């Protein structure tokens, strides 16, 4: 279950940056895996998503958001679910 306590407050300024994302108007299936997607198909989809992210003017803000709220699904800020998990685990190990 997602812990919503990590989410920013529901004010427009907290999310307004998303309107500037290169992903606006792109089908969400590029960024979010269908159930049980594996192997090369998943890898190709993630690489397609990362290609969109690479052109994004708010990629850093998106990445920071995804890490801060521990976004459990999809490609955010050019990072896959597993890449974000690794970064967060590294941060946790460095702290404690």
Instruction: Please indicate if the annotation marks 62 as binding a ligand.
Output: yes
Among 92, 25, 23, 83, which Cα is nearest to 59's?
23
Angle at 29 between CA 28 and CA 31, to 5 degrees: 70
Among 62, 54, 53, which Cα is nearest to 31's?
53
Instruction: Please indicate if the annotation marks 23 as binding a ligand.
Output: yes
Instruction: Please indicate if the annotation marks 53 as binding a ligand.
Output: yes
Annotated binding site: 23, 53, 56, 62
Annotated binding site for [4Fe-4S] cluster: 23, 53, 56, 62
């Amino acid at each position: 279950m997602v812990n919503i306590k990590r989410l920013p407050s529901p004010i427009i300024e907290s999310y307004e940056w998303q309107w500037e994302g290169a992903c606006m108007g792109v089908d969400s299936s590029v960024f979010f895996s269908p159930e049980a997607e594996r192997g090369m198909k998943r890898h190709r989809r993630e690489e397609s998503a990362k290609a969109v992210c690479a052109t994004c003017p708010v990629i850093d803000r998106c990445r920071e958001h995804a890490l801060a709220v521990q976004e459990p699904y999809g490609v955010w800020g050019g990072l896959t679910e597993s890449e974000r998990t690794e970064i967060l685990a590294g941060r946790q190990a460095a702290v404690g």
